[in-house]
Amino acid sequence: MSTVLGKASYEAAIAATRDERMAWWRDARFGMFVHYGLYAQLGRNEWAQSLENFPVEEYAKLAETFAPKPGAPREWAKLAKAAGAKYMVLTTRHHEGFSLWDSKVNPFNSVNYGPHRDIVREFVDACREFDLKIGFYSSLMDWHHPDGWKCAYDNEARRRFLDYIEALNVELLTQYGHVDILWYDVSAPMESWEGWDSLVRNQHLREIQPHLIINDRSKLAEDFGTPEEHITAASRDWEACMTFNGISWGYVDEEQSKEYAYTAPRILKMLYTCTRGGGNLLLNIGPKPDGTVPKDAVGPLTAVGEWLSRNGEAAYGIHAKEDKYGWHGGGNGIASGTRSADGKTFYLWTWIWPHGGEMSLGGFRTAPKRVSILSTGKEIGFEHDGERIKLRGMPERCPDPSGVAVIKVEFDKEPEYRCFSRYPQLSGI
């Protein structure tokens, strides 16, 4: 094993390879999270064991009745592909401590209990079949392991537990071939990278898979930030992880949760906000006890995928890092935009199609060369008047069946743009 670098040198070393390692991730913009484990059987949130103070032995009985139906991971991957997601992240072992793979270091696993199957293997095979990048969620906190809490105050327990955590992750990164993302979660009870020995462990793991992308939840900044249940842009790479209902990551009764479920336009709005801010959207599904995807997720996700097959150019591969120009008012207005990396193309996502098809784009001092509906390629007439592009002959109704269309505005060069140009007091100029 090579020498372990100090924190500053390690961070410089991974920063030097980041652009190359993360090129696909920055193009992807959209991934699917899957929270699946014993907790699906309770249907009361993946934190139920802790929230309801289950004795460990009582909770562990769920391992015997855990019964994923054959082909469940394939169903997830098929849906992810249909949704237009480019990668998936599976909870290989959530806080409950149950490994969904054939682990030698954790006998509490899905090969020894329940289905007697390696669910991670099935997941990996399904991702490869549908050409999706592979992400492994891996909890640091563990409610099943006897040292899971003791590690905070007993040094021997800490050593044992850290060896255990390392061994679990080594298994994940050696048993399944090429893995793209390691998605750590919850660093309780130690709460520091020193406590978790993250510097040493992450270097070991990167030696096994040098192209690996690691998130920021082992208390080191690593490759990307992970805003949870909110979409907040950052100057570094980031990925917003969102539940499907604002209630739970793990399965909860679908008849009730469907009232909270996101619709296709709401998902597109989230995807837009992430894309515009230079981030990714990792949208979760919480499969039912047998692994079936809740109905409330299937329809909207499929519609999002169909939308992306028509309009993906406005999201995939967009690397906007700054809010250079756009069309967005309070609540983002009726429409708002992303732009291509070279700044020459502006994609206006219309949340509400303008009544009667009448609309202008303010702030552009440069005339476009072409304006069209992205999904159909149909041109829209325009007139450039000072700092205003007046669109002419737009369809009366939204031309996209989802209710969200994209107007593509192309320029010969990066346009001169000044938002609020008529009202300088608003823009501070």
The residues binding ligand GLC (CB under 6 A) are: 35, 46-47, 185-186, 228, 241, 249
CB of 47 to ligand GLC, least distance (A): 6
**Cβ nearer to ligand GLC, comparing 120 with 348:** 120
**Cβ nearer to ligand GLC, comparing 186 with 429:** 186
Picking from 276, 265, 198, the residue whose alpha carbon sits closest to that of residue 238 is 276
Q: CA 88, CA 391: separation in Å to the nearest integer?
A: 40
Check: CB of residue 349 under 8 Å from CB of residue 418.
no
**Cβ nearer to ligand GLC, comparing 96 with 147:** 96
**Tokens 């031309």, located at residue:** 399
CB of 35 to ligand GLC, least distance (A): 6
**Tokens 């390691």, located at residue:** 182
CB of 170 to ligand GLC, least distance (A): 22
Q: CA 140, CA 153: separation in Å to the nearest integer?
A: 16
**Tokens 């000044």, located at residue:** 418
Q: CA 172, CA 36: separation in Å to the nearest integer?
A: 17
Q: Reply yes or no: is the peptide bond before residue 189 cis, omega within 30 of 0.
A: yes
**Cβ nearer to ligand GLC, comparing 30 with 364:** 30
CB atoms within 10 A of CB 310: 17
Q: Which 8-state DSSP code applies to residue 263?
A: P
CB atoms within 10 A of CB 389: 24
**Cβ nearer to ligand GLC, comparing 287 with 312:** 287
**Cβ nearer to ligand GLC, comparing 10 with 249:** 249
64 three-state secondary structure: helix
CB of 405 to ligand GLC, least distance (A): 32
**Cβ nearer to ligand GLC, comparing 284 with 340:** 284
- What value does the CA radius of gyration of the chain take, rounded to a whole number of Å? 24
- Residue 271 neighbours by CB under 8 Å, 6+ apart: 29, 30, 281, 304, 315
CB of 62 to ligand GLC, least distance (A): 16
**Cβ nearer to ligand GLC, comparing 134 with 405:** 134
Check: CB of residue 30 under 8 Å from CB of residue 308.
yes
CB of 165 to ligand GLC, least distance (A): 16
Q: CA 65, CA 57: separation in Å to the nearest integer?
A: 14
**Tokens 């999706």, located at residue:** 132
CB of 247 to ligand GLC, least distance (A): 12
CB of 390 to ligand GLC, least distance (A): 45
CB of 139 to ligand GLC, least distance (A): 8
Q: CA 300, CA 262: separation in Å to the nearest integer?
A: 7
Amino acid identity for residue 255 in this structure:
E
- How far does the chain reach from its first CA to its final CA, in angstroms? 57
The tokens for 50 are: 């802790």
**Cβ nearer to ligand GLC, comparing 47 with 260:** 47
**Cβ nearer to ligand GLC, comparing 35 with 408:** 35
CB of 423 to ligand GLC, least distance (A): 41
367 three-state secondary structure: coil
